[in-house]
Amino acid sequence: MDAHTKKTEPTNTDIEEDDKKPCILQLPDHITVPIFCKVPIKTLIQCQCVCKSWRHSLSDPQFTKHLFSQTPPSFLFHGLRGGPINPKSEGYLLFDLDKVSNPNDFVLKLARDPNVHALRVGILGSRNGLLCIYELNQRHFYISNPITSESLALPVISLSPHTVAYCQRRRIDNPYYCGFGFSPISNVYKVVVFMSPSDKSSEDEVLVLTIGSRIWRSIGDVSVYPSSRFQPYGVYLNGFLHWVGQYGDSSTFIWAFDVEGEHFQWLPLPPCYLDLDQLPSCLDLLETQFTLGVLNGCLSVTVRSCSTRDINVWMMKDYGISESWTKELEISNEALDCPTFARVLKFTEEGKVLLLNGSHLQAFTPGTRGVVMVEVDGIPSLIDECVHIPSFVRLRDIMSG
């Protein structure tokens, strides 16, 4: 055995230092790691500050994958105080929406991304414990882990002079429709962006960035594009990102992007859908809201009619099969107090329906009239919500390219 492979024996000093450590810090990894898997995430965040060995164990890729599979999903919100004139960020709040009877007992406060200073931000989505954040006024994208406080600024997209002029003329602050996806096949993360058309083109250019690469790749133009009347951020499910899209001025449907194959396919809207070419008998459809989501593991559409302002929730029980659309819930406008926008977030274990009505969290019990306000940690306004499973995954472990 040469000098390069000779194992170093522990010195007396090393042994004495180990003896001074508390017993729990002397336990080997094969004992501590299973214990960590049973500890609440709030406690694990404190554990990573105890010592280097624990921090290393918690960020091990195999451990983070195992822990993620056992951690129940929560909801992450960006909290604001101070009102619309002088808003103040309260950072991110993570809590279990099943415990709406007393949510403050289950709130975990997380710091905002240190690289993002603007209040006008959007959360494109959460994938495997990572957030993709979009800074609206600066048009910057970031990948962030609020548990480890790591952040990565993505390459800036250069807008052509034609697009800049088009946005200024139309007073478009956000020229993008975006999505944050993950491919379990190749184990890569991607950001997808639709560029607004300019006067020289009626089609959207689609750009894709694989996290770890420094290049936005164009995969061509599409004549079907996310509608400006619906949500700008893609909803992720089954390896696809979903938007409500339009083809010209006549057809509206769900436009799905395959994150692995980087191609599009379409899915039908629920039977409530009416073609825009049936005007003028359906003029109110121009103001009908179709909001996509994921409820109980199924693609969902929340439909709010302009004329009645009632809300109907549909779920696609068998993904991709139009006949599997099922109406799960109907909430009258009287119960919602005339919302300008309301999105169903979850059906809770307590039999309640959680909604985000504007910037306010509300609980509705089917069979009753009216909703109950749910206050989280005394913070009045909640925005940019997403389903989030906290993880200790390190950004270096997800880089590709």
Highest mean pLDDT among 125-134, 167-176, 199-208, 306-315: 125-134
% of the chain beyond a pLDDT of 70: 68
Confidence of residue 353 (pLDDT cuts 50, 70, 90): confident
pLDDT at 257 over 90: yes
The residue with greater pLDDT, 372 or 388, is: 388
Q: Model confidence over 258-302: pLDDT tens digits?
A: 999 999 998 988 886 544 444 333 434 456 778 899 999 999 998
Q: Model confidence over 105-126: pLDDT tens digits?
A: 556 777 777 777 666 678 889 9
Q: Residue 382 has what pLDDT?
A: 72
The residue with greater pLDDT, 344 or 27, is: 344
Q: Residue 63 has what pLDDT?
A: 79
Residue with tokens 């994208």: 141
Q: Residue 327 has what pLDDT?
A: 92
- Determine the topology of domain 72-400 in CATH: Neuraminidase (2.120.10)
d(CA 32, CA 27): 6
Q: Model confidence over 25-68: pLDDT tens digits?
A: 666 767 777 777 777 777 887 777 777 777 777 778 887 888 88
Q: Model confidence over 192-205: pLDDT tens digits?
A: 988 765 544 556 78
The residue with greater pLDDT, 329 or 114, is: 329
Q: Model confidence over 87-109: pLDDT tens digits?
A: 556 678 887 766 655 555 556 77
Q: Model confidence over 140-187: pLDDT tens digits?
A: 899 999 888 889 999 988 776 766 666 666 555 555 688 999 999 999
d(CA 145, CA 389): 11
In this structure, how many other beta carbons lie within 10 angstroms of the beta carbon of residue 143? 24
Q: Is the dihedral angle over the CA atoms 51, 56, 62, 67 positive or is it negative?
A: positive
CA distances from 53 to 11, 25, 40, 251 (A): 19, 9, 19, 57
Radius of gyration over every alpha carbon of the chain, rounded to an integer in angstroms: 24
Q: Residue 258 has what pLDDT?
A: 96
Q: Residue 298 has what pLDDT?
A: 95
pTM of the shown model? 0.82
Q: Model confidence over 214-223: pLDDT tens digits?
A: 899 988 877 6
Segments making up each domain of the chain, as ranges: 21-71, 72-400
pLDDT at 189 over 70: yes
CB 291 within 8 A of CB 301: yes
Q: Model confidence over 218-251: pLDDT tens digits?
A: 888 776 666 656 677 899 999 999 998 776 656 7
